[in-house]
Amino acid sequence: MNILLIHLGTQCECFVASSIIKGLKKKYNKEELLNIYCFTLWKNCEHIFRYNKNVKKTYNINKVPHEIQRMHFDLVVNLDPYFTEKEFFFIDATDKKGFNFDEVGTRTHKYMYEDKKTRKNLFQMYFMLAGLKWHGEGYDFYYYPKSKAKKNTSGISVVNNNLKHYILGKLKLNLSEVHNLPHKKNLYNRIDELNKCQNIITDDFFTLNLALFLRKNVYFLETIPFNFPLELFGIGKVFKIPKKFVQ
């Protein structure tokens, strides 16, 4: 079975969306061999899927070979509203789901990219776009740690100094070591830095998800309200930050 996943969004969005690969395996892999192809826009997003053993091939949306463009897919799942067949190219597929293909995509757009609130978390919404039901699946990403976590170590990834002081006082952390996490452009180097810590304090949504993937104890500083509930998999805590601390 040939399945095409399309996501032209950010590295963070693609990282969360990788979870649906687990859902696709559960639903289809029992029937026949599953071949998953991925189209992304950014090179760093392509890396999210490229080394996944369940993904056959990844392509930049602007460099898809003609033979792949003409290929027949059993299922296409569009996870990003930026992709339209009119804007890029027609895809030959038995079934098409997601943004710009069905009503679920139209409805989900209001939650992800507009101001309408929902009780569904981001994982649930991605699964809905793929015609799947979420059962608590996490990220489908492959990483082999190069570092070990130091006991009682907390890493902070927060830019605003006022916010740092506020949250450290609020948490009253009794830790032997607290240090600032360097911002690494390379995804794997960034994950290695996070993996050195037992606890992660951040106001960055991508860092939150990377830390959850590593099963760290996460303290997330919510400076901007989300339209949907945040899924922390039972290992994190959200602090809603007053505006005066982020101005």
CA atoms within 13 A on the CB side of 138: 14
- 123 shares a domain with 8: yes
Question: 101: exposed, middle or buried (C-beta count within 10 Å: 0-12, 13-18, 19+)?
Answer: buried
- 18 shares a domain with 85: yes
- 165 shares a domain with 105: no
- 85 shares a domain with 48: yes
pLDDT at 210: 97
pLDDT at 242 over 80: no
pLDDT at 51 over 60: yes
* Average pLDDT score over residue span 91-103: 97
pLDDT at 152: 79
- 89 shares a domain with 55: yes
- 50 shares a domain with 6: yes
- 62 shares a domain with 165: no
**What residue numbers bound the domain in which 171 lies?**
153-245
pLDDT at 21 over 70: yes
* Average pLDDT score over residue span 156-165: 79
Does 136 fall in a domain?
no
Percent share of the chain, pLDDT over 70:
94
Q: What is the DSSP letter of 102?
A: S
Of residues 28 and 72, more confidently modeled: 72
CA distance 173 to 175: 6
**Among candidate residues 129, 161, 189, the one where a domain is terminated:** 129
Query: Nearest to residue 124, comparing CAs of 4, 8, 231?
Result: 231
Percent share of the chain, pLDDT over 90:
68
Q: Structurally, how many domains does the chain consist of?
A: 2
pLDDT at 174 over 60: no
- 54 shares a domain with 9: yes
- 228 shares a domain with 174: yes
Q: Both tokens of residue 111?
A: 């939650």
First to last CA, the chain: 52
Confidence of residue 53 (pLDDT cuts 50, 70, 90): confident
Does 143 fall in a domain?
no
Total number of residues shown for the chain: 247
